[in-house]
Amino acid sequence: MTVFRKQQTEDTAPSLLGVNTLYLISMILILTLGTSLQAWNPGIGLLLTEIGLIWLPAFLFLWRSNLPLDDTIRWHWPGLLTAGFAVLAGIGFSFFTIWLAEAASDLFGYTLWLPPQFYPRTFSEGLILFTGLVIAAPLCEEFLFRGVIQRGYERIGVRAAIISVSLMFAAYHLSLQRFILLIPISLVLSFAAWRSASVITSILVHASYNLVAATILLAGSFQPNINFELAVSLPVGVVGLLIGGFGIWALARVQGNIGVELDSGSASETSPELPTKKDFWPLLAVVPVIALMIVAELILGLFPSALAVESLNLQPAPWYQPVELVYDIHSRTDELLGKAECQINPTVDS
């Protein structure tokens, strides 16, 4: 324990200005290269985005700052019991977020959607997407946020670090609805990493959280007849919240006072720093970007007609007798789902 406490001093923590600059750089990369990569190929683009635009800049930042990798990001196995409770917390909060997303859609009056090409059509596409969501995203995003950025913010206090990094992580997804949906799990991830003094703990929470969403996404792609109404119901959401809450509570109990002791150990050597205005200038460049994306989401969701380039003019029907059309309905994997019949009965004036 004594050796590990030495690893938590501010000698291994990056500067506040440095992590805020890293946050800005990563967001710019996501908006430019990341958007293009995922438009080209959602699965492979997601992998390249996570590794090349999220993990790599954070790794190069640590290398350029001459900070020890393992000590800075707290790459430390938290123990089997803690790992188990981390997985439980992630699964529970995932089901709670699924219900919360349904409630948010009803409240806002629009639903967040994914482009059709995001849904896999083959086993290989599904495997790549699953790897990106369940393995690459937790590893790379936790490396950046809980491993690097949170360590920098812990210079000004643990509570400030947990709240600030949670807000930054939620805002990183550039969506008003996702911001609201991600706040609970963001707080859990930041707390878990600090309390267990291990970024591996937050990686496990994140991976199990994404596992539920990825499973539902793939199941809906390859088995479109599955009914997911139960998964988005209020009872399942409440049960998920209780399970997730128990998981994070049990995790804290198992860890005892590790995070508290390490924090107090650091505080005894140096008091929390007082941040200066220059430490936050990179975030000033981020705020307009986030605001612009939120406005775009609201317009697209609430007033999609405002994006129309020109008005829609319907021409007269090219037939004058009743017509019956029959369509075969196929899934993206070309599975026949059923048929649809459409009857058109022209009248004198329409």
Q: Tens digit of pLDDT for each residue in 155-172?
A: 999 999 999 999 999 999
pTM of the full predicted structure? 0.83
pLDDT band at residue 30 using 50, 70 and 90 as cut-offs: very high
Give kind and range of the element (H or E) at residue 341.
strand 336-344
pLDDT over 50 (residue 88): yes
Which stretch of 84-93, 158-167, 258-267, 283-292 has the lowest confidence by average pLDDT? 258-267
Give kind and range of the element (H or E) at residue 84.
helix 80-108
Q: Please compute the mean of the pLDDT values over residues 283-304 and round it to a whole number.
A: 90
pLDDT over 70 (residue 58): yes
Distance CA 51, CA 167 (A): 22
Alpha carbon 166 to chain centroid, angstroms: 11
Q: Please compute the mean of the pLDDT values over residues 217-245 and round it to a whole number.
A: 89
Sign of the alpha-carbon torsion through 19, 21, 24, 26: negative
Residue 269, pLDDT score: 43
76: left (phi over 0), alpha (psi -120 to 50) or beta: beta
pLDDT over 80 (residue 257): no
Cα–Cα distance list, 205 to 92, 211, 253 (Å): 10, 10, 16
pLDDT band at residue 277 using 50, 70 and 90 as cut-offs: confident
Q: Which of 97, 94, 87, 96 is nearest to 205 (CA)?
A: 87
Q: Please compute the mean of the pLDDT values over residues 220-234 and round it to a whole number.
A: 85
Cα–Cα distance list, 201 to 107, 196, 210, 265 (Å): 33, 7, 14, 21
| Most confident region among 108-122, 200-214, 324-338 by mean pLDDT | 200-214
Contact between residue 78 and residue 202 where contact means Cβ atoms under 8 Å apart: no
Rg of the chain in Å (alpha carbons): 24
